[in-house]
C-alpha cells in the first residue's frame, strides 16, 4: 500500500505539502478488514480516524426505535471517523466493511501532535476549508438535482458511461449513495421501468433510451 499516494487522493489530506503528507504517512497504520467486520461501533470511545484504501465501508446509525439507517457508503480514498478529532470523543455511527477491505488508521493523538506545528496546522486548516466547500456543494447537489438525475449520475461516476450496467452494490447502498431511502429508490426503479427508460434483470440494468428532460438539476 502506497500510503503517501493514498493521502494525496484523500480529500482531507490531498492539499498538504509533500513533506507534510510523508510525515503523516509515517504515522498511519495499514490493516486489512474482513467483510462484515466492524471498524468501530456507535457510541464507543474513539481514538482513531481511518482512510479507506481498498474495498467498501458502510456507516450506519441506530434510531431510537431500533432501526438502522445507512448514513453513507465510503469508497476508496475517503476518510471517515474524523468527528472524534475535534467535535466529540465517541463515534456517532457504526462502520462495517461491506467486503474485504484495506484501511489506514491514524491515531487522534498523533494527528493532534502534528497540529501543534504551525506550518502543518496552517496546511491542514486550509484543507478543512476546502472540505467545507465540498460539503456545501454536496448539499446543493442533493437539493437542486432530482432523484432521477442523482441516480444516472451515480451510474456514470461509479461504472462509467455505458448502456448496460452490472450493479455491485445493494439497493440499500445505492439509495444511500444518491441521498434517498430504499423505498423511494424502489419506486424510482419501477417508474423508470414503466416509462421505458431502463430494463432491470436482477443486478443488471440496461438503459433503453436516453433519460428525458424530466431528469434535471435546477439552476
One digit per residue, pLDDT tens: the chain, 219 residues? 799 999 988 877 887 888 989 999 999 999 999 999 999 999 999 999 999 999 999 998 887 777 778 888 898 999 999 888 877 789 999 999 999 999 999 999 998 898 888 888 888 787 677 666 666 766 766 666 888 888 998 888 888 888 899 988 888 888 888 888 888 999 999 999 999 999 999 889 999 866 654 445 554
**How many independent structural domains does the chain possess?**
2
Q: Is the pTM of this model over 0.85?
A: no
Q: Which segments of 147-186 are extended strands (E)? A: 164-166
Our measurement of the distance from residue 102's CA atom to the centroid of its chain's CA atoms, rounded to an integer in Å, reads: 15
The predicted pLDDT at position 138 comes to: 67
The predicted pLDDT at position 192 comes to: 92
Would 43 be classed as within a structural domain? yes
Q: Are 79 and 39 in contact (CB under 8 A)?
A: no
| Shared-domain flag, residues 194 and 88 | no
Q: Which domain holds residue 93?
A: 3-143
Would 215 be classed as within a structural domain? no
> Residue 38 belongs to a domain with what CATH number?
2.60.120.10
The predicted pLDDT at position 135 comes to: 66
Q: Give the helix/strand (H/E) hosting 101.
A: strand 101-107
| Shared-domain flag, residues 101 and 166 | no
Residue 170 to residue 137: CA distance in whole angstroms: 26
The predicted pLDDT at position 213 comes to: 44
Amino acid at each position: 500500500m502506497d500510503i503517501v499516494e493514498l493521502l494525496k487522493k484523500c480529500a482531507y489530506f490531498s492539499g498538504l505539502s509533500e513533506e507534510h503528507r510523508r510525515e503523516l504517512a509515517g504515522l498511519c497504520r495499514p490493516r486489512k478488514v474482513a467483510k462484515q467486520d466492524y471498524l468501530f461501533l456507535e457510541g464507543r470511545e474513539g481514538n482513531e480516524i481511518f482512510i479507506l484504501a481498498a474495498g467498501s465501508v458502510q456507516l450506519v446509525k441506530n434510531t431510537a426505535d431500533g432501526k438502522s439507517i445507512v448514513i453513507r457508503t465510503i469508497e476508496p480514498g475517503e476518510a471517515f471517523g474524523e468527528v472524534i478529532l475535534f467535535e466529540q470523543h465517541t463515534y456517532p455511527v457504526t462502520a462495517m466493511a461491506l467486503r474485504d477491505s484495506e484501511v489506514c488508521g491514524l491515531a487522534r493523538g498523533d494527528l493532534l501532535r502534528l497540529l501543534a506545528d504551525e506550518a502543518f496546522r496552517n496546511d491542514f486548516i486550509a484543507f478543512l476549508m476546502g472540505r467545507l466547500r465540498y460539503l456545501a456543494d454536496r448539499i446543493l447537489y442533493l437539493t437542486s438535482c432530482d432523484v432521477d438525475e442523482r441516480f444516472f449520475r451515480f451510474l456514470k461516476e461509479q461504472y462509467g458511461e455505458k448502456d448496460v450496467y452490472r450493479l455491485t452494490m445493494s439497493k440499500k447502498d445505492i439509495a444511500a449513495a444518491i441521498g434517498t431511502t430504499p423505498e423511494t429508490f424502489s419506486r424510482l426503479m419501477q417508474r423508470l421501468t414503466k416509462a421505458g427508460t431502463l430494463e432491470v434483470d436482477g443486478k443488471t440494468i440496461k438503459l433503453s433510451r436516453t433519460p428525458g428532460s424530466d431528469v434535471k438539476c435546477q439552476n
